[in-house]
Amino acid sequence: MNYSADAPAVWDAGLADADDCLLSSDQCVVRAEHYFVKGLVEVPVLGTDDVFSWGVWVSLSRANFARAAELWDQPGREAEEPYFGWLTTELMVYPQTTLNLKTLVHTRPVGERPYVELEPTDHPLAVEQRTGITVDRVREIAAGMLHPHDDHV
């Protein structure tokens, strides 16, 4: 019940060998100017105890990225205030772009991906995060991810 992006939308495979770029499973740096962390947009599945998760990338300021990196392996890091960020993953199953949605990134205990809270707007992804989705919607998302060039779901 999850889908995950391998890299932020701004990443290009040609950056992989650059000294000022980094892409790991959790962090990304582009040209020592743009900083990203991977987190989860979690959406409750109505009528179940399940949660559907989008593994997404969020841009952070240099200072917030440095702070998150400093606390990466530190127990108690979940007490940190959330970091502001911009969603940098395009989820093609939505009719409107998901790029640059405002977020708050909530650090969790060591070993857990951060929780990405979307600004409470009328964007369909933000609405789904707040109100939940049905099991049928999970199936629609799965079909849309398997066939990304079909009409938006």
Residue 150, pLDDT > 80, answer: no
* Average confidence (pLDDT) over 37-55: 97
How is the chain split into domains, by residue range?
2-146
Using one digit for the tens of pLDDT, what is the confidence trace for 68-108?
999 999 999 999 999 999 999 999 999 999 999 999 999 99
Q: CA 117, CA 12: separation in Å to the nearest integer? A: 26
Reported as a single tens digit per residue, the pLDDT across 130-149 is 999 999 999 999 998 887 65
Q: In sequence order, what are the residues at sequence separation of 6 or more whose Cβ sits closer than 8 angstroms to the Cβ of residue 27?
A: 35, 36, 37, 38, 65, 69
40 or 148, higher pLDDT:
40
Across all residues in the chain, what is the average pLDDT? 94
Q: Which of 20, 24, 23 shows the shortest CA–CA distance to 33?
A: 20
Q: How far apart are CA 12 and CA 28, in angstroms?
A: 11
pLDDT band at 64 (very low <50, low <70, confident <90, very high): very high
**The pLDDT of residue 148:** 63
pLDDT at residue 126 in the model: 98
pTM of the model: 0.92
Q: How high is the pLDDT of residue 149?
A: 57
